[in-house]
Chain A
Amino acid sequence: MTRRPRAALAAGLVAAALGLTACSGDGTEPDAVAAASDDTLVVYNAQHEQLTQEWADAFTEETGIEVVLRNGSDAELGNQLVQEGDRSRADVFLTENSPAMSLVENAGLLAPVDQATLDQVPEQYRPSSGLWTGIAARSTVFVYNPDELSEAELPASIMDLAGPAWKGRWGAAPGGADFQAIVSAILELEGTDATSAWLDGMKENVTVYQNNIATMKAVNAGEVPGGIIYHYYWFRDQDGTKENSGNTELHYFRNQDPGAFVSVSGGGVLASSRNQDEAQQFLAFLTGSTGQEILGTGYSMEYPVAGGVPANPALPPLDTLQAPAVDPSNLNSVEVTDLMTDAGLL
C-alpha cells in the first residue's frame, strides 16, 4: 500500500471536516441570529425578560422597529459591554439597578440621552451626566414569615442583620445584581469599613438562595424566618397565586435606612451603536407615557419614574418609603463585588 493515496484521502476527509464545520456554523448562524440584522435594535437586557419583551412588542407595534434581546444579569452584561468596547453589537442597555450602568458609563461607552427623553424623567431618577436615564424603580424590603418572627422582633435597620442575633435567620441572593445594588447603597451611605464588617457578619448569618424568588419562597415555606428582596416579587405573587408569598408579610425599613434603598433601573444608548436614532426612540418610548403605563398597569409591579404615571394601586406610594438620598452615579459595582468576594460571599 502506497502512502500517497492515503494522504490524499486523509487530506480530503479533513478538508471536508473543516469545510463542513464552517458550513454548519454559517448555516445555523442566520437562523440563530436572524433578528439581529443591521436595522434590528439589539438590547442587552438585564431587566426582567418578560417586562422588556412587553415593552419591545409595544415599541415594535408603534414604530415598526424590530427589537431583539440578549438577556443576562446587570453585572454580566455591564462587564461584557466593557470588554466588547467599540466592537459591541449592542444598541441599548437596560439594567435592573444602576451600578452596572455606571460601570458602562465610566468606561465612556454611552452616548448622551436625547434631552427630550431626559425631560420626561424627574432629576432624582437620572444621573446628572445625562448619559443614561432611569426607567423604573424598586424598593428594598424585608420579607418575613409572621409565624417565625413577631412584629417586635423585626430589624429596625438592615445593618442589624449582621449581628449575632440574626445568625441563620435570614436569606438573600448575594450572587444577584439586586442584592449587590443594595450593598452598593450601604457602601455609599456607611463607607467601606462598615460595609466590609457588615458583609462579614452577613457571611456568618445568611442563608444563600439563587435569587429573590427563591428567597421569598423559602421564607414562605418557613425554611428561614426572613429575607432581603425587592418589593415587586412579593406584589407579583400576591397579585397571582400567592403560592410563594401567602404566608409572608413585608417590612419596610424606612427612616432613610440603607435598607430603605430605592434602586433605579437604567436605560442607555451605546455610543458604538449604528442605530442611534432607533435606540434613542426606544428610550423615549420607555420613559414616555405608554412605556411607563406598562409599568403601572402591567404585571411588573415596579414603580414608574416618569411622566407622572401612577404606580399600581396595590403598592405604597414611592414618596412614603422614606428612601435614603443616593446619587445613582455614585454607586460602585466594582468595589462591591471585590468586597463581597473578600467576604467569601462570591
Chain B
Amino acid sequence: MSVTSVQTPRRAGRDAGPRPPVALVVVCAALAIVLLVPLGYVVSVVADVGWATLEPLIFRPRVGELLVNTVLLVVLGVPLTVLLGVGGAWLVERTTLPARRFWAVVLVAPLAIPAFVSSYGWASVVPSIHGLSGGLLVSVLAYYPLVYLPAMAAIRGLDPALEESARSLGSSSWAVFGRVVLPQLRLAVLGGGLIVALHLLAEYGAFAFIRFDTFTTAIVVQYQSTFAGPAAGALGVVLSALCLTLLIAEAGARGRARYARIGSGAPRAAVPQRLGAFTPLVLLALAALGVAAVAVPLASVVRWLGRGGGGGAWSQPELPAALTQTVLLAGGGAVAAVLVALPLAWLTARHPGPLARLLEGTSYVAASLPAIIVALALVTVTLRVLPGLYQTAFTVVLAYVMIFLPRALVPLRSGIAQAPVALEETARSLGYTPLVARLRVTLPLLVPSLAAGAALVGLGAANELTATLLLAPTGTRTLATQFWSQASAIDYPAAAPYALLLILLSVPAVALMFAQSRRWGVR
C-alpha cells in the first residue's frame, strides 16, 4: 500500500473504466457551467461595461491602496499562518511537548470562532485595533488552523524511518526538520497556504470591523453606495484576478513531484524530539497563542453576555427566527452541495482522465472566487436573466454550493476512491444488479464521507456573512447577519448571543475536521 499526500488521493488502480458514461459527463458538464457563472460574470463585467469605463476605475490611487493592503495581507499573513500551523503541528506530533493531545485541540480551536467574531472580541479588548497590523493579528489567529490541520495530517502520515535515516546520516534535529520533514509537507503547506490566502482575500466582516480596507471590504462599500454598479464590478475584476493568480501559482509550485511513501512497512510511532530546556518557553508561546486566538474572543463574548443584563440579550425577538433560518439555509446548502459534489466526485474518482481533471479544476476555480463576487454575480444574473430566482432561498443555497463545494468534494472523492470497485463486482457476482450492488455496497461505505461533506458545508454556510447579506430573501435574518448588524451598530451586548451560537454551531464541524486530519495521517 502506498500512502500519498492528503491533497491528492491516488487513483491508480481504481480506474474502473477509461470512458465515463455519457450521462454522467453531461450532468457534470452542466454543473460545471452553472458553477462558472461567477467567473462568467467577471468576464461579462469587462465585456459589458467596456474597458473604457473600467480603466479609470481600476487604475486609480484607491485601487493602488487596496492592492497594497491586500497584497501585504497575503504576503505577510500566509507565511505567518504557515509558521504557526507547521510549527504547531510539529510540536504536537513530533516532540516531547507535555500534554500534546491537549495542545493539539487548543491549536485547532480557533477554527470554531468565525473571523468576524474574533475581530469583535479583539475590538472589545483593544478598541483602537485597526489597519494592517490589526487585520494581520485577527486573520492569522483565525486562519492558521487551515495550515495546521493538513500539516498535522501530513506529519502523521510521514514514515518516521525517513527522519531516523536522516539522523543516522548525521543530520541534527533541526536539519532533519528542514531537509526531510519540511519538503514532505510541501503539498500540505501549499494547499493550506492557498486556502488561507483565498480566505484572506474573501474576508469581509473581520476586516471591516477593525477598519482595514481590502478589495472585498471596498467592494461591499461600493455595493452599499451603488448596488451592483461598474465600480464594484471593476474592483471585483481585480480581486478575481488576484484569486486566479494565486490558484495558478499554487498549481505551478505543486509541480509534478510525488510524495508517496514508498514500499510497505507499517508506520511506527516516531520517537519524539526532546524539547529539554526549551519546554517552558514553548509552553509559554503556545499558551499565549491560545489566549490570543481563543480566550480573548471567548472572554469578550462571555463578558458582553454578562453585560446584557440577566438574559436580556437572549430575549431579543429576532433570535429564534435567526437560528431557525440559519439552520434551514445552511442545511439546504449542505444537502445541495453534497448532491452536486456526488457526480463530480464519482467522475474524478472512478473515471480519471483529462475530462475529469478539467471538470474538477473548473469547480475549484469557481470556488476560489470570494463570496462577494459570487453574490454580485448571482444578484446580477437573477435580476437580469432569472427574475423568478431573485431574492429567493434557492439563490442563497446556490451561492453556498458555489462557495463551499470543495468542502463536500474532497471527502466524497476520497470516500469513493476508497470504496473498492471489487466490492461492487463481488456483490454483482453474488447476483445483484449493478444498481443494487452500488446502493447496498458502495453507498453505505460513502455515508461517512457524505456526512462529513455535508457537515463541513453546513457549518461554513452557517457562518457565511457576505453573500447572505446580499442575497437573502426579504425578512430573512441569519445568526451571522444579525450578529453583524448588532456588532456594527456597536451594540456589543446584543451581538454576544449570536456570537456564542455561531461558535457553538461551529464546534461539531471543527471536531470532525480535527478527527479526519488525525485519521488521514495514519491511513
Contacts and interface: CB of A to CB of B under 8 A. Distances in A.
Q: Do chains A and B touch in the complex (CB under 8 A)?
A: yes
B60 A342 contact: yes
B391 interface: yes
Contacts of B23: 7-8, 10-11, 14
Interface of A is mostly: helix
Contact of B475 (A32, A75, A337): A32
Interface stretch (B110-118, B249-257, B482-490): B482-490
A290 interface: no
B165 interface: no
A12 B390 CA distance: 29
A126 interface: no
A8 B331 CA distance: 28
Interface in A182-232: 208-211, 213-214, 217-218, 221, 223
- The 3 A-B pairs with the shortest beta carbon distances in the complex, nearest first, are A79-B227, A25-B394, A7-B21
B224 A73 contact: yes
Interface of A: 1-14, 16-18, 20-22, 24-29, 31-36, 42, 49, 68-73, 75-76, 78-80, 82-84, 87, 89, 175-177, 180, 208-211, 213-214, 217-218, 221, 223, 244, 337, 340-342, 344-346
Contacts of B394: 22, 25-26, 29
B209 A210 contact: yes
Most buried by A among B229, B383, B397, B473: B473
Contact of A79 (B65, B229, B391): B229
B122 interface: no
Given A1-B428, A21-B339, A70-B474, 8 more contacts: A4-B21, A7-B24, A21-B340, A22-B394, A25-B398, A31-B325, A68-B474, A218-B127
Given A32-B329, A33-B473, A84-B383, A24 B335 contact: yes
Contacts, number: 200
Contact of B474 (A33, A217, A342): A33
Contacts of B336: 17, 20-21, 24-25
B286 to A, nearest CB: 32
A163 B169 CA distance: 69
B177 interface: no
Interface string B485-519: 10011100000000000000000000000000000
A177 B221 CA distance: 10
Interface residues of B, number: 70
B43 to A, nearest CB: 20
Contacts of B418: none
Contact of B342 (A17, A49, A214): A17
Given A13-B342, A36-B475, A24 B490 contact: no
Interface of B: 16-17, 19, 21-24, 27, 57, 60-62, 65, 127-128, 208-209, 211, 213, 218, 221-229, 231, 324-325, 328-329, 331-332, 335-336, 339-340, 342-343, 346, 383, 387, 390-394, 396-398, 401, 421, 425, 428, 433-435, 438, 472-476, 485, 488-490
Most buried by A among B65, B397, B433: B397
Nearest to A180: B225
19 contacts: A1-B425, A1-B428, A10-B21, A10-B27, A14-B23, A28-B393, A32-B475, A33-B473, A33-B475, A42-B474, A71-B485, A72-B224, A76-B224, A80-B227, A180-B225, A208-B211, A341-B62, A341-B222, A344-B62
A213 B393 contact: no
A119 B473 CA distance: 35
Contact of A10 (B222, B224, B343, B392): B343
A257 B227 CA distance: 31
